[in-house]
Amino acid sequence: MELDARIYVAGHRGLVGSAIKRALESQGYQNVLEQTRSELDLLDQSAVAQFFAKERPEYVFLAAAKVGGISANATHPADFLYHNLVIQTNVIHAAYLYGVKKLLFLGSSCIYPKFAPQPIREEYLLNGELEPTNEPYALAKIAGVKMCEAYYRQYGSDFLAVMPTNLYGPNDNFDLESSHVLPALLRKFHEAKTMDASHVEVWGTGKPRREFLYVDDLADACVYLMKRYSHSDIGSFVNIGTGADVEIGELATMIKQIVGFRGNIVFNSEKPDGTPRKWLDVTRIEGLGWRASTTLRKGIQKTYEWYLNQHQSTVRP
């Protein structure tokens, strides 16, 4: 991937897209194409085709998606299925039509069966039932993976797919109605601290285990793969994670310490836990020469610093 290559980052304002854009620019890639949602509606097939015909990107990072936590997925299943299917279909097909050299599709670890053996290897895909709370989103992401595979098999298109574990970092979504567990907890503990609350409620039992990857590490892995490997090298897709997981209760305690909240943690067992454990096998990505470098505590500290900079008015002197 040449330094002057035309690179399109779909979803450049989101958590993953913005991190990929930072990674590219830090490595000397300055010809990064970006379009806001108002400039290019990725749900509009004609508009997407016109963009590709005009701009002719050589490389594409497909990080645009509709994402959310358990509550958002349960409330808007049709939106999660439709929006993600249409976005990825439009972009992947346009990349084929207009001769993109290489495309990297961002999937999600939720594509794996709810009770997959741990750690989860790439070949466990479609070997069991999905977690019901995010099944529509998972089905859309599975379709994206299979599209990349199908376009490679039929047309030879060099379309890669990666399956990151749970992500967090700068530009995350901190809306309590639609965010994932880590940013939601960061906001809850911060607001509890500023209001001198006695406790913070955490959904579920606190027993499920999750793996968390700092988003700048993911971006580094994506650029690394785009520069060095092709579909034929990595197979249909590759997991990206840290190789370690943590109980939600332990995560809550760590965030409490980082934020400096002095109250108690109360677990609401009437709320859903979701998948009992989701821990990715990262043997394949490590075999390709890449390994995550940011510890969970350091990543949370960086994320909280970013959050404070964005919300100075809510920080008590």
- The SS3 of residue 33 is strand
pLDDT tens-digit readout, 270-297: 988 877 888 999 999 999 999 999 999 9
Amino acid at 68: G
CATH class of the region 7-172+212-242+280-293: alpha beta
Burial class (CB in 10 A: 0-12, 13-18, 19+), 135: middle
**Distance from C-alpha of 10 to C-alpha of 21, rounded to nearest angstrom:** 10
Report whether 246 belongs to an annotated binding site: no
**Distance from C-alpha of 185 to C-alpha of 148, rounded to nearest angstrom:** 35
> What is the pLDDT tens value at each position of the chain, 317 positions in all?
999 999 999 999 999 999 999 999 999 999 999 999 999 999 999 999 999 999 999 999 999 998 877 777 888 899 999 999 999 999 999 999 999 999 999 999 889 998 899 999 999 999 999 988 889 999 999 999 999 999 999 999 999 999 999 999 999 989 887 778 899 999 999 999 999 999 999 989 999 999 999 999 999 999 999 999 999 998 889 999 999 999 999 999 999 999 999 999 999 999 888 778 889 999 999 999 999 999 999 999 999 999 999 876 444 43
Q: What's the pTM?
A: 0.92
- The SS3 of residue 99 is coil
Report whether 271 belongs to an annotated binding site: no
Report whether 185 belongs to an annotated binding site: no
Report whether 273 belongs to an annotated binding site: yes
Q: What are phi and psi of 188, to 5 degrees?
A: -60, -45
Domain boundaries, the chain: 7-172+212-242+280-293
- Catalytic, 29? Answer no
Determine which one of 8, 29, 59, 137 is catalytic: 137
Angle among Cα 176, 177, 178 to the nearest 5 degrees reads: 95
